[in-house]
Each structure stands twice: as C-alpha cells, then as structure tokens.
Amino acid sequence: MIIKVLGSAAGGGFPQWNCNGRNSAAVRAGKEGFQARTQSSIAVSATGADWVLFNASPDIREQIAKTPQLHPDPAGALRNSPIKSVVLTNGDVDHVAGLLSLREGQKFTLYATRRVLRALESNSIFNVLAPDKVRRIAFALGADTALSGPDGDLGIEIEIFPVPGKVALYLEDATAGENFGTKEDDTVGVRVSCGEGKSFFYIPGCAALEDDLRARLRGAALVFFDGTLYTDDELIRQGLLDKTGKRMGHISMSGPRGSMQGFSDLDVARKIYIHINNSNPVLDENSPERKTVAAAGWEVAFDGLEIGM
C-alpha cells in the first residue's frame, strides 16, 4: 500500500491568501524553516496504478499536477485518470470543494456519509458530477466497505467510525444550541486496510480523544491525526480569528486534554499531524513547539510525503 500526502495544511492552506500573520509572512518571505503547504488530502493505492483520494481539497488541481502517479496515462484514452474513488471524512469546504475540479465527464466513485451526501445534493453546483459518471455511495458507520472504481475493486477496504467534531461551517444552525446542529455522522475517522493485515488511520478532524477512540487507536501502526492548532486559543491570541479550536471542532496538540497527552500511552508506532492551520507554531521547524512535538514522537506532515506499508 502506498500513501501520498497531497496536502497537509488546514483550510486556506499555508500561506493563506489573505493572512499576514507571523507564519504566513515568514513563508512568503522564504524564511528558513518554513515550507508552504496546500489544503489537506491524501491519496492511497494498493497497486500504484489505481488511486483513492481521501478528501478533495480546493487545491486538488495543483496537487495532481505535482504528483506524477495521479497524471493521465500517456498511453491511455484522450481523457483518463488513475483516480478511481474519493472518500470524504466530512463536508467542510476544504474537503469537498475540490470535487468541482474533478468534473469534465470523468468516472469515479464518491463515498461519504448520508448526511454529507445530502449536503452535496442540496447544492446544485455539485450536479457537474453527473450521476451517470460519478456514482455516490453512502457508507454506514462501523461497517467495512470494499472500495471500488468504475472498473471494479481497488484492493482497499475502509472502516468508517464517528469522531467528535462539528458540522461544516456553511451548515451551522445558530438556533440549534452550542453544537450548531452537529450530528454523529458529520465528522468521521477512517481505518484504511490493504490485505496482509496492513492498515492505518486517517483522522484529519477531531474535537476530542474520547475513551472509545483511544481504544480503537491503541497499538496502531500509523495514524494521521488532526494537527490544526497547537493551543486552543492561538487564533485569538494572534489576532487572526475570534474562535477557539473547540468552537471549530478541533482538538489542540498541547495541554492536558491535547492530542500529545492523549496519545502518550497508546503505543502508536508512527504518529503524523496533518491539517495544520497557518497559525500553528509547529510550522516553524525551528520553534520550541516543533521540538516539543518531535520529542513526543510526532511528525508534522508535509506535501509530497510518501509512505509504503
């Protein structure tokens, strides 16, 4: 199984188009220790020939252009693609907007929860993915799903499970109380497996490490996990936004309820932060915060990272 990190940043990318915060300014200036990143997505293949995208980033065209494995086959039809399936973990803009770039009559299979599929169905712009070209399949929470493309089985199986999170910003219901109408299937995690007992977890959005999730992840070979913020209030302290991580549905790396502490006794062999916000100090490779996460056994994902299992 091959895993390619197409994008490792949170919504807006890094640098964000309208952000002049410390990190974004530093990467634009070419300061040492800062690396630009596109918005969060990974690609997975059992064979190296057919690929599954996990989330469709707004930056998908750029990501495909930078990833030769995702280019059309020069010996194939005039229009062809090795991308055979897309799996969505939520309905956030930074995870669904890239679907619009996958139009032009290309066949693939789209997997998401019923709630996320209904959100797409309610917005007519997504009709550019015509039903006779893009098959939409709702996966059930807790069930195993063998992924398939237009030409059949892809050799990859996924298990979908709910994780604490929040409904997508554009679907928030201000009249529904402090959870804004969030439902169980608004945010999911994925266990991806590919024969011979090889598997990993992809959880780019998560609000808390509850006991059932900790039990599920214990002893895992590889986990990609929500790395949006280092501290819950960093956006407020930096003057970038008036929201906490908790309000946005994201756990922080640090603190007694943070992910570093929550993973400390789970014996996960390889832990990689992904979906990293432009405000996060770990984007500075020379920062004390970057050294702290490294000392806790964590890696910070970067665009183009490739892992074989």
pLDDT confidence of 223, banded at 50, 70, 90?
very high
Token digits for 243?
């929201």
Q: How many CB atoms lie within 10 A of CB 154?
A: 22
Does the pLDDT of residue 160 top 60, yes or no? yes
Q: What is the pLDDT of residues 209-219, one digit of tens each?
A: 999 999 999 99
* Burial readout 241-260 (b: 16 or more C-beta within 10 A, e: otherwise): eeebbbbbbbbbbbeeebbb
Which pLDDT value is given to residue 197?
81
Measured CA to CA, the distance from residue 205 to residue 224 in angstroms comes to 10
- Give the lowest-confidence range in 75-89, 229-243, 255-269: 229-243
Does the pLDDT of residue 151 top 60, yes or no? yes
- Residue 140 carries which DSSP code? P
On average, the pLDDT of the chain sits at: 92
Token digits for 72?
């059309």
Q: What is the rounded average pLDDT of the residues 235-252?
A: 84
- Strands 199-203 and 83-87 come out as unpaired
- H or E element that contains 3: strand 2-7
Which pLDDT value is given to residue 216?
96
Nearest in space to 146 (alpha carbons), one of 52, 267, 23, 49: 52
**What is the span of the domain harbouring residue 80?**
2-308
The enclosing domain of 160 has a CATH number of 3.60.15.10
Using DSSP's 3-state secondary structure scheme, residue 52 falls into: strand
Using DSSP's 3-state secondary structure scheme, residue 50 falls into: coil
In this structure, are residues 174 and 182 in contact, taking their beta carbons and an 8 Å threshold?
A: no
Task: Give one DSSP letter per residue of 284-307, joined into a string.
Answer: STTSHHHHHHHHTTEEE--TT-EE
pLDDT above 90: percentage of residues in the chain = 80
Number of folded domains that form the chain: 1
Measured CA to CA, the distance from residue 130 to residue 57 in angstroms comes to 19
- Residue 213 carries which DSSP code? H
State the sign of the Cα–Cα–Cα–Cα dihedral 251, 305, 269, 49.
Answer: positive
Token digits for 144?
């195993």
In this structure, are residues 285 and 215 in contact, taking their beta carbons and an 8 Å threshold?
A: no
